[in-house]
Structure 1
Amino acid sequence: MTAQDRGLAALGLDGVPALQPLTYPGLPVTVPSLLTGAELLPLRARRGGLGAWSLDGSHRPHPVLDDVLDGLGQPPVAGRLPVIAVGSNASPGQLAHKLARLGVPGAVPMVPVRLRGIGVGHSAHIGRAGYVAAAPYTAPEARGTLVVSWLDPAQLSAVDATELPNYRRVALPGAAYGMVLPTGERLDAAQVYVSVRGLLADPATGLPRPGGGDQAVLLDRLLDASPRLRELLGPDAATWVRRAAVDPELRARGTLLFAEEGWVLPWTELHASADLGPAPG
């Protein structure tokens, strides 16, 4: 496979939810990969740590990831921090866009990791692009796979700038959340962005409204549930994101309405708990 075949556009992974809000959260990577700007190269997982994984789709036969990063003038895996994505940061198109906007080199290992104890809901605020973004919460029964990106200090600073002030980055112990790499090796720790705005509640259950679905469906349901929100941002999802993306005051008023409608759960922490159960095998 040639490098051209691995372009984000050719793979259908070049979508940017920040520019097309109703596509949020975008398409995530589904196999271990190295994002290099506008390309996504597959990684071949093997025991010995991420830095020793080999890279396919290169002119050299199966070079080691740390050697590839060094050749790009980028820090090795040991100089990076693993960060769990629960929303659009799992999308290579979105992540590449965030880094490119700030002129930060976009060489990022992105790996689906099995874990437990993390549910995905919606942050109780309207983001800069107009969409209602995802947010994690402690869910002892949850088992699943989330994308983890290994960010170097410059990349981490750039992504932080896109998340603040609505999110804060927190550390999670790998053992408590059962983080397992595709090789079966355990991840010692990772970080994740937690909403400081709380979570949107499902009025029917009083629990967090499930995340990960169609953004247009979510916004239309919120509009249907609140005449005041419909008057402010309606009549439909397309109008919502078009108006909210250009008007900070509208975003602030809409966010306030979430609370006034009684939809906000003040869940802004993730907790390591002994009752999460056994880690994935």
Structure 2
Amino acid sequence: MNQNRPDAAHPPEDYPWVPASVLLQPLGSVAPPPNSRLVVAVGSNAAPSVLRRKLDHLGDAVEPALCRVRVANITVGHSAHVAARGYIPAAPVHAGQGVLTTVGAWLKPSQTEALDRTEPNYDRRTVNTHDHPLQLADRLPGVPTPDEFDLYVSRHGVLADPDGGAALPFGDQPTVLAWLARRLGVTKLDGPPADVCARLATGDLGARVTGLMRAAGLSQPAWPSLAADGGAR
């Protein structure tokens, strides 16, 4: 949900460029299709325009049914990898407190499969609303709060200091790039974020920096319970 390059109106420091209005204005206007699942977005998929663009190629004229959601015991951090286009993307983090306000999409199987293919660095996982109570901020007629929902968990873990502290909270690109530069000593991480992201997207630098994150112990599991059971859906 996190690898789309922003256009000229959305510089890297604004990543993931989800307008605040998305989380303030009601979204629920399209009824969920039969047999659909609720997928909770973290990162750029919370922008309806991004989600529609990813699903547009299906050509089935089914508009994603979107709604605002509030989910407990989840926060947002940074995946411990460099995205193909040079950004340090967002990722959900299992947390014992805090509430995430974001966008959920009711997707039918063909749509979830299509979305899976856009997320090579993430696994779609199913979590239950007992452990992570969920509220639908936009009520659609005849749609109850589900017992479970899906979200994309990073295969690389999330950025954190190697002393076992909490995951690095989600921030803008200048903040996370500076955090990495201090810990990795990579001079190519210094400079304006647009320039750094362009360098990371060129050649193998992004892959090398991802490897350095791992070697430096800057990654921790985003979802310990899922890691323990092998990550089964």
Return the TM-score normalized by structure 2. Answer: 0.79
Structure-2 separation of matches of 1:99 and 1:18: 17
Report deviation, 1:181. Answer: 1.3
Deviations 1:3-57 (A, max 9, x none): xxxxxxxxxxxxx942447132111522332xxxxxxxxx3xxxxxxxxxxx4xx
Q: Tell me the equivalent position of 2:26.
A: 32
Q: Please list, as runs of the form range in 1=range in 2, the aligned pairs for 1:122-271 lying within 5 A after superposition.
A: 122-164=78-120, 166-182=121-137, 183=139, 186-202=145-161, 206-211=165-170, 213-227=171-185, 229-231=186-188, 233-247=189-203, 249-269=204-224
Structure-2 separation of matches of 1:200 and 1:106: 36
Report deviation, 1:103. Answer: 5.6
> Cα gap change, 1:103/1:131 in structure 2, threshold over 3 Å: closer, same or farther?
farther
Deviations 1:168-189 (A, max 9, x none): 1111112321111124963321
Q: Which stretches in structure 1 are left out of the alignment for 5+ residues?
A: 1-15, 34-42, 44-54, 56-64, 67-75, 272-281
Larger Rg: 1
Check conservation: 1:113, 1:148, Cα contact below 8 A.
yes
Structure-2 separation of matches of 1:122 and 1:203: 15
Which letter does structure 2 place at the counterpart of 1:218? Answer: V
Structure-2 separation of matches of 1:239 and 1:97: 26
Return the TM-score normalized by structure 1. Answer: 0.67
| Percentage of identical aligned residues | 36
Q: Indicate the structure whose relative CO is greater, using CA pairs within 8 Å and at least 6 residues apart.
A: 2
> Cα gap change, 1:78/1:188 in structure 2, threshold over 3 Å: closer, same or farther?
farther
Aligned residues: 213
Check conservation: 1:180, 1:187, Cα contact below 8 A.
no
Check conservation: 1:223, 1:236, Cα contact below 8 A.
no
Structure-1 separation of matches of 2:164 and 2:58: 41
Structure-2 separation of matches of 1:106 and 1:257: 42
Q: Please list, as runs of the form range in 1=range in 2, the aligned pairs for 1:43-192 lying within 5 A after superposition.
A: 43=28, 55=29, 65-66=30-31, 76-100=32-56, 105=61, 107-164=63-120, 166-182=121-137, 183=139, 186-192=145-151
Deviations 1:235-271 (A, max 9, x none): 4422221122243x22110101112233111334456
Which letter does structure 1 place at the counterpart of 2:165? Answer: G
